[in-house]
Amino acid sequence: MATKVHMEALSPTMEEGQVVKWLKAEGDEIANGDVLAEIETDKATMELVARGEGILQKVLLDEGGTAAVGALIAVIAEDGEDISDLVSEGDDATGEGSGEEDEAAAKEGEEEESKEEEAEAAPERDKAPAPEEGEEGDGRVKASPLARRLAADQGIELRSIEGSGPGGRVVKRDVEKAMEEGVPDAPRTTAPDSEEDYVDVSLSQMRKTIAKRLVESLGPVPHFFLTVDVDMSRAVEARKRVNALLEKEGKKISFNDIVLKATAMALRKHPECNAHWREDHVRRFNRVHLAVAVAIDDGLITPVVRDADRKGMAEISAEVRELAGRAREKKLKPEEYSGGTFSVSNLGMFGIEDFTAVINPPEAGILAVGALEERPVARDGEVIIEPRMKITMSCDHRVIDGAQGARFLQSLTGILEEPLAALI
């Protein structure tokens, strides 16, 4: 009996996924639990495993293609089993069978070779004269699965090939022709001196999710902002002493690690800020799970340091480094970037003095940490130079009132300006 391979929800917030790479090809024998493909979710690249066994009879979604959660993207069946009805179902689910340009391509399947031969005899008017006609709606080049695999094997850029298939689709014959005749250099997409007026950049699953979440946050969530300017003199001294102790172990802590520890301790004192908005109630957490913003190529992800208030700075430092490294490789597990109770975003390493961050719903607050800078300040009637750091708290006014946010920042400032206060 045939097994349907669906686009699975590989992260808690995933609504659609993109096939990064098929690890199995049509005709391969599949065992239950085999890894079929790498799927880019809204947060990371995850493995899609087989839920049945047999032969991978049909791949319905090309590498680079996207499909909604639940859509049929491949079929595993016994050798010779009729899967024509399932193939039609998959075409509809992934959008391959809709639209005039894709009508012929949707039937390609196992008849691809003969279709490509028919396309050779098609009149010139049926061929795509312009590059736009050979692109998908998301900017990807239209190409048959066979053509994609052949081009990838030969290291040929699909954009450099003029497609002769339906709607400008690149088919096997086009790739073979390019292999024989050679292809021009692929068009540049990011060169600043390009003669093109603009470049369209396709959205990754993460960027799509970021855009959606920002709309959900800045629109419905009533933000207000509180800023403190912290004297970091004693934090600077404390870091030097701690790093001297850790040097033997080859470890060290950063100012961000100090801020994370101080934030976690302040949240433990102020559970009204360590909270989520739940529409009909506010949930205050007894445990502090800090979500730490990490910049990656596709946008921003927030791996979570669980029970941060119970961990030392060296442990927090090691955990953040390890999570951030795997975040940049898109190897985080869903439980490692979900479940945060409060967030911290630090742009100080980029020289940003201060900024405001957008709350990540349903969390009620986020800290925006600026650069540590030596600045002139007035003290006892004299101007002196001190290491200062500006920290801005974005608050959801439905959960946190101004006085509550101010008291939390007072506690945070007190810990940073006198690290020994953390022992009290």
- What amino acid is encoded at 236 in this protein? V
Closest CA to 323 of 335, 313, 310: 335
Give CA separation, 103 vs 85, 136, 318, in Å.
16, 14, 54
Is residue 276 annotated as part of the catalytic site, yes or no?
A: no
Tokens of 118: 């028919």
CA distance 95 to 107: 12
> 223, 276, 281, 397: which one is catalytic?
397
Sorted by sequence, the CB contacts under 8 Å of residue 334 that are 6+ apart come out as 10, 11, 12, 43, 44
Q: Are strands 365-379 and 342-346 parallel, antiparallel or unpaired?
A: parallel
What's the sign of the alpha-carbon dihedral 283, 284, 289, 290? positive
Q: How far from each other are the two terminal CA atoms of the chain, in whole angstroms?
A: 66
Evaluate the CA torsion angle 146, 149, 154, 155 in order and state its sign: positive
Hey, which bits of 298-354 come out as E strands?
A: 299-301, 304-305, 342-346
Beta strands in 105-160 (DSSP E): none
Tokens 């940073």, located at residue: 416
The catalytic residues are 397
